[in-house]
Structure 1
Amino acid sequence: MAQTMALLVSLLVFSNVFAVNCAFAPTLIIDMAKIFMDNYCSPERLAGMEEAIDAASSNTEILSIPDPNTLANVLTEGVKNTISDPRVTVTYEPNYVPVGPPVLPDLPPEQMIAVVQGTVKVEVLESNIAYLRIQHIIGEEMAQKIGPLLLEHVWAKVLPTTAMILDFRYASSGELSGIPYIVSYFTDTEPLIHIDSVYDRPSDTTTELWSMPTLLGERYGTTKPLIILTSHSTKGIAEDVAYILKNLKRATIVGEKTAGGSVKIEKIKVGDTDFYVSVPVAKSVNPVTGKSWEIVGVTPDIEVDAEDALDIAVEIIKLRAEIPAIVQAAATLVADNYAFESVGADVAEKLNAILASGEYSMINTKAELEAKLSADLMKLSGDKSLKTTSNTPALPPMNPTPEMFIELIKVSFHTDMFENNIGYLRFDMFGDFEQVKAIAQIIVEHVWKKVVDTDALIIDLRNNVGGPTTSIAGFCSYFFDGDKEIVLDKLYDRPSGTTRELLTLPELTGKRYGTKKSLIILTSGVTAGAAEEFVYIMKRLGRAMIVGEPTSGASHPPETFRVGESDVFLAIPITHSDTSQGPAWEGAGIAPHIPVPADAALETAKGILNKHFASQK
């Protein structure tokens, strides 16, 4: 009641700026309020209307406004603001003549064809895309009369196309009974689909709208792309059709947010006056969302200015035409190149099955395609490194000065010295061998010499995200003696089908740490790629104790592949550590000898080494 009282009170407040002599009948406001109470589509917003009418019946100040059009505007604003519905209006129209539903006159066939062609603009665009611009959605009665002509002069042209654009940017009128007709042409015969529920306030009834089992002519079907263009002028029945097809995931909406109209608005005369109330008397509730587009409008999937919507729609359709070939080519690349052959074949088969299921059919942009393709590849393979990537060109080589190298090394490496002559070395990424080789002497002078003469060493890889594996052999070699060659790992290369041995290097820059002194490596869930390869080797050969958390379970650095002739690129790991037991660490990670939380790993390692040295005294 409080809200409805506010409705009438807000109307009365406006009257204070006018003379107190009544210019209109005292029953005007009461009759208008009764129209809302009996006809407004959302009666819950009008709770307490009857009590408010009784309270307002003796207060007629607002009726002193002398100009009827001004009074109508004041009443309109009062109602709109109170019930938060911009669709309601009050007008003063002494010469108003009610307009009935459109009636199709009896015309000769050639004139009837001209009417049809003037109602619907039809065109077949480049790439065999149908374009239909509809300004009024006809109802059941009209459809039955001109259906054969629509089939011959409109539908026959668009049915063979491979995609369709429905242009509703200028559609502001239509018939409720036409909704099932237009929607059904884009659904299957079976099963029938509950597409809308419309509540009619005057009759207090709800009508369910369902797709139709039979239609005049063939359906466009459910597989060919359908784009609906909208603007802020798209209103009423066209909004309902767009909202239905969007939530059935049958159409993509491109353009501007729609007007937020109504499925049915009636203009009702207020008593014996020349005032009229335009009030929404019915409301749509979508069975998929449980919500309505009315008042709020339909939000596009791709929101752009209405004038740009057609061009964007064509771009989307062209992209969708390319997607099957792109996904199939991606599957082939994975099957032919992924490091683990059986996994690659399985991923390819399942990716093609996802494509066939239609999951890629509603992609709108290249970014969406790349995101979904990445998500599917990672999910199917369990490999975070198998994904789409950008084809970023390599940066031109730099020629830094020795001073710049020194500053870079100081930032990249962190060393420390703990009690009992325990050294500490941290770095967060592995570098390319050729680059490291060029500055090896600088690294030795400013990093390695600080820790090489310690009695034990802690290497902190808790934040090491990997990098190239080309420097792994050289780094491992510092922790083995130089009197014999050691096989560190065997690496299988999938594209060539060959296996090569990763061996220690006979010559190094600077002193070796050797095999006699204790070595502990710290790990976490961040430790990945090349860092995992190093940890795997050192653990497998029994050269280091691992303390911390299981590693990431990433892969050897992936190679970049172009997908077909597109500008989509894949990062595919093509190499793996070759073991007879299956994956070494790729996808599984490396379990530490001493599992502790990453933030406790350093203190744990220091404790282990201090205890070791204490026992030797």
Structure 2
Amino acid sequence: MAKATFLLASLLLLGNVFFIRAAFPPNVITDMAKIVMDNYCSPEKLTGIKEAIEAGGSNTEVLNIPDGNSLASVLSAGFQLTISDTRLVVSYEPDYVPVVPPQMPSLPPEQLVAVLQTSIKLDILEGNIGYLRIDNILGEEVAEKVGPLLLDLIWNKIVATSALIFDLRYTGTGDITGIPYIVSYFTEAEPEIHIDSVYDRPSNTTTKLLSKTTLLGQRYGINKPLIILTSKNTKGIAEDIAYCLQSLKRATIVGEKTAGGSVKISKIKVGDTGFYVTMPTAKSINPITGSSWEVTGVKPNVEVNAEDALATAIKIVNLRALVPAIIEGSATLIADNYAFEDIGAEVAERLKGNLANGDYSMVVSKSSLKAQINDELKTLSGDKGLKTISNTPVMPPMEYSPEMYIELIKMSFYTEVLENNIGYLRFDMFGDFEEVKAIAQIIVEHVWNKVVNTDALIIDLRNNVGGPTTAISGFCSYFFDADKQIVLDKLYDRQTGTTSELLSLPELTGKRYGSKKSLIILTSGVTAGAAEEFVYIMKKLGRAMIVGETTAGDSHPPKIFSVGETGVSLSIPTIHSDTSTGPAWEGTGITPHIPVSADAALGTAKGIFNKHFAGQK
């Protein structure tokens, strides 16, 4: 009601600035109101407008406006604000002659097709991509009359293509009966699909638009790529076709948001005056989305400037042509190399099944395809290490001076000696064995020697994201004695089909911590990869107490595989810990002995040790 009063206020304000002279019949505004109330497509939006216009019509000052265009402009603004619809326009056109819809010319079908071809453009692009531009949507009646000729001249050439780009960037006119006719060529014959509903206000009827079970010629089908190009000039029936096919997930829309027109616009004369009300008298309600493209327009799946839409569409079609090779290549690599053979085989079959089901038919970019594959791999395998990755260039190795190594080590490790001679060691990543071996003496001098003589040790891996597992046996060895070599873990290598033993090392740089002093390891949901392997070994062998949260459930460091020449690469774990006695840590994580939040883990560990040493005093 607040918006409706704007119309009355506008009329009163403008009425005061003109001469006091009745320029228009006193019933012009009420007649106009009745036309709107009886014909506007959404009557629920008209609440309060009737009373406002009746009040304006009873005000003689409103009718003193001598300029019909000024009055029409004020009324248009009032209506549009009240119902939030710029499609409703009041105009003053005393000389207007109604346009009679052109009848089908009485031409032979061949000549009629020649006329129609001025608004239809066909091209076969490189890669057997069809391009079809239609600037006016034909109705069913016209299509039936010239259908056989259009079939021979245009459609049969389109059907043979591998993909179709349907250009509606210039389409602003059309017949509503053409909607199911066109949409049906991109669906299956059965079952019949409810593709749209059109409510007609003057007749108060709703017409269901259904896909057609019989058509002239072949259908394009549901599997070949269909790209629809749109622009801000795409209007009316063309918008409906684009929205229907987008809602059915049969087409990808590329271009600009469309005009936001209507399935039916009517221009109605107000009595014997020169005033006309142009407004939407019908509306589309999509049965799938429950909403409409009208007013707001059709939002593209890929939004680009209209002039760039065709080039973008070609890129999308070419990408989709690569999808089978990418999926099948990925499936083969996973089946042949994934550490857990049974899971790898199942994931590979599921990927190929998803391809056959059309799950990748709507990809619009290589990045979106990688993201989709990535999500499916994680879902199907439960392994965070099995994923797609970006092809980042390998950086050349840096040359470090001894001084630089020392500073790097100081930043990478944190040590402290706490109350009761409790050592604290934190580092957030494991390094490669050969790299660590080369600087082992520096690490011992600047890190290890600060905590090796403590009476108990807390190793903080709450922020350790893993790294190579090559240094694991060496690091574990510091917490066992030199007189006995221990089997830390058994590792199965899928690529070679062999199982190897991970053994403690008989010789180390620096002093061992030994097997007698107490050790607590702190974990969190971030603790991953190589850090989990270390925690797993120390817990399995009873060498440490684990305090904190269940670890990430990552995997041994994966290897990188390129999927042919497609530009897609996969990260695939190829090694897993021994599972002969039950599940290891991959995929599930390691449950701590004492579960507490990551934030509380250090305080809990200190409390355990302090209580222990206090009891010894």
- TM bucket, shorter chain: over 0.9
Which letter does structure 2 place at the counterpart of 1:213?
T
Aligned-partner residue type, residue 362 of structure 2: M
Aligned partners of 1:4 and 1:48 also within 8 Å: yes
- State the match for 1:437 in structure 2: 437
Q: Aligned pair in 2 of structure 1 residues 12, 167: CA closer, same or farther (>3 Å)?
A: farther
Given the superposition, is the C-alpha separation of residues 3 and 616 from structure 1 closer, same or farther in structure 2, using an over 3 Å criterion? Answer: closer
Task: State how far apart, in whole Å, the 1-side matches of 2:13 and 2:569 are.
Answer: 66
Deviations 1:179-233 (A, max 9, x none): 1111111111111111111111111111111111111111111111111111001
Contact kept? 1:198, 1:282, Cα under 8 Å = yes
Aligned to 2:139: 139
Stretches of structure 1 lacking an aligned partner (at least 5 in a row): none
2:151 maps to which residue? 151
Residue 233 of structure 2: aligned partner: 233
Q: What amino acid maps onto 1:309 in structure 2?
A: A
Per-residue CA deviations over 1:421-445 (Å, capped at 9, x if unaligned) read 1111111111112222222222112
1:566 equivalent in alignment to 2:554: no
Asked whether the 8 Å contact 1:425–1:458 carries over to 2, the reply is yes
Matched-pair contact (CA < 8 Å) for 1:391–1:560: no
More divergent stretch after superposition (177-186 vs 536-545): 536-545
**Match for residue 466 of structure 1?**
466
Structure-to-structure mapping, 1:528-607, within 5 angstroms: 528-607=528-607
Partner residue of 1:273? Answer: 273
Match of 2:328 in 1: 328
Post-superposition offset of 1:78: 2.6
- Counterparts of 1:286-365 in structure 2, within 5 Å, are 286-365=286-365
* 8 Å CA contact 1:23, 1:65 repeated in 2: yes
Task: Note the C-alpha offset of 1:614.
Answer: 3.6
Secondary structure (helix, strand or coil) at the match of 2:579 reads coil
Question: Structure 1 residue 415: deviation in Å?
Answer: 1.3
The answer on whether the counterparts of 1:255 and 1:302 sit within 8 Å (CA) in structure 2 is yes
Amino acid paired to 2:477: S
Relative distance call for 1:253 and 1:9 in structure 2 (3 A) is same
Q: Which residue of 1 aligns with 2:187?
A: 187
Calculate percent identity across the aligned residue pairs.
70
Shift of 1:393: 2.1
Separation in 2, partners of 1:109, 1:172: 24
Deviation digits for residues 431-487 of structure 1, max 9, x if unmatched? Answer: 112222222222112211110001111111111111111111111111122233322
Q: How much has 1:49 moved relative to structure 2?
A: 4.0
- Match of 2:177, SS? helix
**1:17 partner SS:** coil
In structure 1, the partner of 2:371 is 371
**Mean Cα deviation higher: 196-205 or 406-415:** 406-415
Aligned partners of 1:492 and 1:577 also within 8 Å = yes
Match of 2:64, as an amino acid?
S
Partner residue, 1:96: 96
Between the aligned partners of 1:444 and 1:492, the Cα distance in structure 2 is 32
The amino acid across from 2:258 in the alignment is T
Q: What letter corresponds to residue 344 of structure 1 in structure 2?
A: G
State the alpha-carbon separation in 2 of the partners of residues 224 and 615 from structure 1. Answer: 76
- CA 569–332 in structure 1, closer or farther in 2 if over 3 Å, else same: same
Provide Cα deviations, 1:216-261, integer angstroms capped at 9, x if missing partner.
Answer: 1111111111111110011101111111110011111110001100
User: What do residues 97-138 of structure 1 show as CA deviations (whole Å, max 9, x unaligned)?
Assistant: 222333221113442231122121111111111111111111
Counterpart-to-counterpart distance in 2, 1:10 and 1:548: 69
CA distance in 2, matches of 1:237, 1:169: 12
Which residue of structure 1 aligns with residue 36 of structure 2?
36
Please tell me whether the aligned partners of residues 388 and 571 of structure 2 are also in contact (alpha carbons under 8 angstroms).
yes
In 2, Cα distance between the equivalents of 1:80 and 1:402? 76
Conservation of the 8 A alpha-carbon contact between 1:230 and 1:257: yes
Q: C-alpha separation between the residues in 2 aligned to 1:393 and 1:5?
A: 65
1:121-140, aligned counterparts within 5 Å? 121-140=121-140
Query: CA-to-partner distance for each residue in 1:516-562, whole Å, 9 max, x for gaps?
Result: 21111111222110001111111222222222222111100111110
Greater mean deviation of Cα atoms: 32-41 or 390-399:
390-399
Partner Cα distance (1:432, 1:17) in 2: 86
Pair 1:114-2:121 in alignment: no
Counterpart in the other structure of 1:87 = 87
* Aligned CA distance change for structure 1 residues 53 and 394 (closer, same or farther; 3 Å): closer
Q: What is the deviation of 1:52?
A: 3.1
Query: Does structure 2 conserve the Cα–Cα contact (< 8 Å) formed by 1:423 and 1:454?
Result: yes
Which deviates the most, 412-421 or 559-568? 412-421
Partner in structure 1 of residue 505 of structure 2 = 505
- Report the residue type matching 1:477 in the other structure: S
CA deviation after TM superposition for structure 1 residue 271, in Å: 1.0
Q: Secondary structure at the match of 1:176?
A: coil
1:582, distance to aligned residue in structure 2 (A): 4.3
Alpha-carbon contact 1:414-1:427 (below 8 Å) kept: yes
Q: What is the identity, as a one-letter code, of the residue corresponding to 2:234?
A: T
Contact 1:116 1:150 in 2 (8 A): no
TM-score (norm 2): 0.97
Instruction: Provide the C-alpha distance between the structure 1 equivalents of 2:391 and 2:464, rounded to a whole number of angstroms.
Output: 24
Q: Name the stretch that deviates more: 162-171 or 85-94.
A: 85-94
Look up the equivalent residue of 1:304 and give its one-letter code.
V
CA contact 1:576–1:583 (8 Å) conserved in 2? no
- C-alpha separation between the residues in 1 aligned to 2:14 and 2:396? 73
Distance in 1, matches of 2:297 and 2:515, equals 73
Comparing 190-199 with 439-448, greater Cα deviation is found at 439-448
| Aligned 8 A contact 1:254 1:309 in 2 | yes
Q: Deviations over 1:388-438 (max 9, x none)?
A: 001212222212333332222222211111222111111111111222222
- 2: CA distance between counterparts of 1:155 and 1:129? 13
Q: Structure 1: how far apart are the matches of 2:141 and 2:11?
A: 42
Cα deviation, residue 354, structure 1: 1.4
The offset of 1:5, in angstroms, is 4.2
Contact 2:547 2:592 in 1 (8 A): yes
Equivalent position of 1:608 in the other structure: 608
Distance 1:127 1:248 in 2: 26
C-alpha contact 2:257 2:300 (8 A) present in aligned 1: yes
Check the 8 A contact 2:7/2:75 in 1, yes or no. no
TM-score (norm 1): 0.97
Aligned-partner SS, 2:142: helix
- Distance apart, 1:612 and its partner CA: 3.0
Whether 2:515 is the aligned partner of 1:487: answer: no
Call closer, same or farther: CA 1:198–1:11 in 2, change over 3 Å.
farther
Aligned to 1:242: 242
Amino acid in structure 2 at the alignment position of 1:331: A
Aligned residues of 1:196 and 1:208 also touching (Cα < 8 A): yes
Provide the C-alpha distance between the structure 2 equivalents of 1:84 and 1:375, rounded to a whole number of angstroms. Answer: 41
Q: Is the 8 A contact 2:7 2:53 kept in 1?
A: no
What is the rounded CA distance, in whole Å, between the counterparts of 2:4 and 2:448 in structure 1? 82
Secondary structure (helix, strand or coil) at the match of 1:336 reads helix
2:68–2:92: 8 Å Cα contact kept in structure 1?
A: yes
Counterpart of 2:198 in structure 1 is: 198
The 3-state SS of whatever aligns with 2:21 is coil
Q: Tell me, which stretches of 5 or more residues in structure 2 are unaligned?
A: none
Distance 2:504 2:130 in 1: 66
| Equivalent AA in structure 1 for residue 41 of structure 2 | C
The aligned residue for residue 10 of structure 1 is 10
Q: Aligned in 2, Cα 1:351/1:361: closer, same or farther, shift over 3 Å?
A: same
Q: Offset at 1:514?
A: 1.4
State the AA in 1 paired with 2:447.
V
Instruction: Output the CA distance in 1 between the equivalents of 2:12 and 2:305.
Output: 41
Deviation at 1:2, TM superposition (A): 5.2
> What CA deviation, in whole Å up to 9, does each residue of 1:35-85 have, x standing for no partner?
111111111121244433432222133433333333333332232222211
